Structure 1
Amino acid sequence: MLRAIVVVGLMVGAVALMVFGPRYLRDSGDEAARAECNLLEQPCTWSAESGDWSMSLEPGEAGSQGVEYHLTVNAPEAPSRFLAVLRGESMYMGEYPVPLKQRGDNRYEATFTAPFCTTGTDMIWRIDLQAGQDPISGAPEKLVFRAVK
């Protein structure tokens, strides 16, 4: 009786692995395989179904809380509740939503300070765009920057 339960359990596990395994590997591999666009080196541009996008990041003055960054996004349409979400790429440090304010027809801007990390300039941050809670996809590359000390 115990053998039958073990055999059935192994068969159910094997079927579940065959069904869900490839999907899990494909989803996690896509994110890791995307190239990176370093926003402090150059503006990042891409085309999506909605039109052409561009994003640039400029470091500003260093204050007591760290370096202040100025983010500019040119979007083909005006999303509601447009956010840039700052996430640690090299180390998880939480998620920091940064609201973008419209400064022209298709231009949005925000100023923020990246949270302090003990690794200093070894910390790489990723910026993801969202309309409220919904991610805005279409960027072919990860939009990243290395923290300036």
Structure 2
Amino acid sequence: MATTWFVRLGLGDQVAVLADPAAPLSPGLVAAVWSATEPVVVPLRPGDETSTAYRLDPAIVIMLTRRRDRLQHWWSELQPDQQARLLEHRHDWLPESYRHILADAEGVLTQSTCPETGATRLRGSPLTRVFLEWQARRAAAAP
């Protein structure tokens, strides 16, 4: 997936797109992705060239839905304490012991050595981090 347009979005927009890739896009979101060099949006009603309502291209919807569903399956297989730790550290580094967990999601994007301790630390892929943010927001909104 060419994600140049996706990583340029703010975190809230990324979460909204991942949560429902087939949803109509807000005008602000259309403007944010319109200048992408790859075809990203199409009119909400195909063939309506005067439409001001847009959605993601169907191929992108399918790809994002598949990746989101794969991440949801991965998430459902985790233990509650693993989920809690991932949510707690969704904006920062995870310890080396989480390598196998991240690998089952979408892999480890970045690995670094902590200057204070010398320990290896990890970050997941951008889409995994957006997925974790989505899960955190869903948990916070739950009664």
TM-score with structure 2 length normalisation?
0.26
- Higher normalized strand content (fraction of residues): 1
Structure number with higher relative contact order (C-alpha < 8 Å, ≥ 6 residues apart)? 1
Bigger radius of gyration among the two: 1
